[in-house]
Structure 1
Amino acid sequence: MKLSEVMQFLADHGDERTKATLSKHGAREPFFGVKVADLKKLVKKTKKDHHLSLELYKTGNSDAMYLAGLIADEKQITPETLEEWVNGAYWYYISEFAVPWVAAETTFGRELALGWIDRPEEGVAAAGWCTYSRLMAINEDEDLDLDEI
């Protein structure tokens, strides 16, 4: 799918009640208030799409940024891109979910998590902790540094 098609889907599936709720919790314009269930319908269509995920995140639209995290290819994304993403994650929906899910699936997720945890920005530090906890959830115990944890 093209960026324009995805953005049209998001616009068409925006829900005013969802938008009002997300707004109360920190989302800000631009966004449509798309339900996660509707975003997952798009994931089925797009699958992993590295290029599209980069385009979506750059829109600054919260719905698009969240979707970017769902379709990002952890094998292609770079530490530099994830640094850009975490720095642009202005509310917890992005900083505690979208970015950490992608970061934890990369080969460099641990290093990013440890660096972010020590950052003074609350959202970045939260992204670090969420990435770190996700690493513990998706890896076998024997693959973890239990002394570090």
Structure 2
Amino acid sequence: MAGTTVAEVMEELAGLEDPKARAVNERHGDDHGVNLGSLRALAKRLKTQQDLARDLWGTGDTAARLLALLICRPKAFGSDELDAMLRQARTPKVHDWLVNYVVKKSPHAEELRPAWLADPDPVVASAGWALTTDRVAKKPEGLDLPGLLDVIEAGMKDAPDRLQWAMNHCLAQIGIEHPGQRARAVDIGERLQVLKDYPTSPGCTSPFAPVWIGEMVRRQESRA
């Protein structure tokens, strides 16, 4: 579907609008009513179209931006462009997809990570923590893990929700992946009690770091 115009895509997205989906999405802070399965099917038809992706992002529409993130070419964005996009991505799903589907695949991820980590905007900082968590799991060489735990210990308890969630994920990942830091990670989680009472569906692991760490380590050991 090369050559598809923004107007054509916006018309199709409007046709996919579902009031029930919008009601569910809005409860999670996402202002769109397009079923994500339908959005992915449309992206599969459109295939990769970087220019169209940039134009769809420019509309400011949440569904259009989610579609843009599915059809873009992650390595085609410059670091300044990614930084601007992150600051424009104020809904949770757009933010998550931008970080996970685009920034993590970009050659600029490591350049942006420390800058975002230190950003005063908690939403931007949460992206820095997400990239740091990815490095903790995949490429921890050069990371100051005790230093990261110091920052988490000092700031996670009173951090805004999105930032707190990202810091907690990093805390758990450090405890899961790095046995030498595990006892301290569990201790920090126990003392701060962040997400201890978070409602967890049957069969799912609690995001409370001590439980999360314990369960993932148990699974690793059972596979060994």
TM-score, normalization: structure 2?
0.58
| CA distance in 2 between partners of 1:10 and 1:133 (Å) | 34
Question: CA RMSD for the aligned pairs?
Answer: 1.9
Equivalences, count: 141
| CA distance in 2 between partners of 1:25 and 1:126 (Å) | 17
1:5 match: 8
Q: Deviation string for 1:70-124 (max 9, x for gaps)?
A: 1111221111211111010112111122344201111111211221121121221
1:119 match: 119
When Rg is computed on C-alpha atoms for both structures, the one with the higher figure is 2
Gaps of 5+ in 1: none
Paired AA for residue 75 in structure 1: K
Cα distance change, pair 45–71 in 1 and its aligned pair in 2 (3 A): same
1:57 match: 57
Q: Which has the higher contact order (CA 8 A, sep 6+)?
A: 1
Paired AA for residue 114 in structure 1: P
TM-score, normalization: structure 1?
0.84
| CA distance in 2 between partners of 1:13 and 1:80 (Å) | 33
Cα contact 2:86–2:98 (8 A) shared by 1: no
Paired AA for residue 2 in structure 1: T
Paired AA for residue 38 in structure 2: D
Identity level (%):
28
Cα contact 2:16–2:38 (8 A) shared by 1: yes
Paired AA for residue 146 in structure 1: E
Deviation at 1:145, TM superposition (A): 3.7
2:141 match: 146
SS in 2 for 1:55: helix
Deviation at 1:56, TM superposition (A): 0.9
| CA distance in 1 between partners of 2:51 and 2:131 (Å) | 22
1:1-149 to 2 correspondences below 5 Å: 1-28=4-31, 31=32, 33-134=33-134, 141=138, 144-148=139-143
